[in-house]
Amino acid sequence: MVNIGNMMKQAQQLQKKMAEAQQKLNDIEVEGESGGGLVKVIATAKGSFKRISIDDSLVKLDEKEILEDLITAAINDAKEKGETAANEEMKSLTGGLPMPPGMKFPF
């Protein structure tokens, strides 16, 4: 016979490990580049963009930092809107029931 108490304990441990893994993804930074290194993006492994670097040869120098910040903000805004849309879609699929704590779509 299956011990429900052990199953619940294992589920809680798994949930804790998943939360720790999600936090670790926030701490890992990756760098993408294009144009032979003229444009670089620093992001977390979880997908949050932290910085964008644009080579001076591509922009007016006195506007470069503002442009980098605006691009970073626009990317993160799109990401947040995408997560909201995905969560709304999941609610429609689950009949309005919320996802369990710590679970996000896409998985």
The answer to whether residues 5 and 13 touch, using CB atoms and an 8 Å cutoff, is no
Would you say residue 22 lies in a domain?
no
Q: Considering the entire predicted model, what is its pTM? A: 0.58
Q: What is the pLDDT of residue 96?
A: 61
In-domain check, residue 47: yes
Residue whose pair of structure tokens reads 């919320």 in the numeric block = 98
> What number of CA atoms fall less than 13 Å from residue 93's CA on the CB side?
8
pLDDT value for 55 = 92
Q: What is the pLDDT of residue 90?
A: 72
Q: Which amino acid is at 73?
A: A
Q: Which two tokens stand for residue 98?
A: 């919320």
CATH number reported for the structural domain that contains residue 74 in this entry: 3.30.1310
Q: How far apart are CA 11 and CA 30, in angstroms?
A: 31
Domain count, the chain: 1
Residue 98 lies in a domain: no
- Print pLDDT tens along the chain (107 aa): 568 888 888 888 888 888 887 788 788 888 998 889 899 988 888 888 888 899 999 888 898 899 989 898 888 888 888 788 877 777 776 666 665 666 665 54
14 is written with which tokens? 């798994």
State the number of CA atoms in the 13 A half-sphere of 86 facing the CB: 12
Residue 49 resides in a domain: yes
Domain of 34 in residue numbering reads as 27-93
Q: Do the domain assignments include residue 53? A: yes
Determine the 3-state secondary structure of 47 from DSSP. Answer: coil
Phi, psi of 59 (to 5 degrees): -145, 170
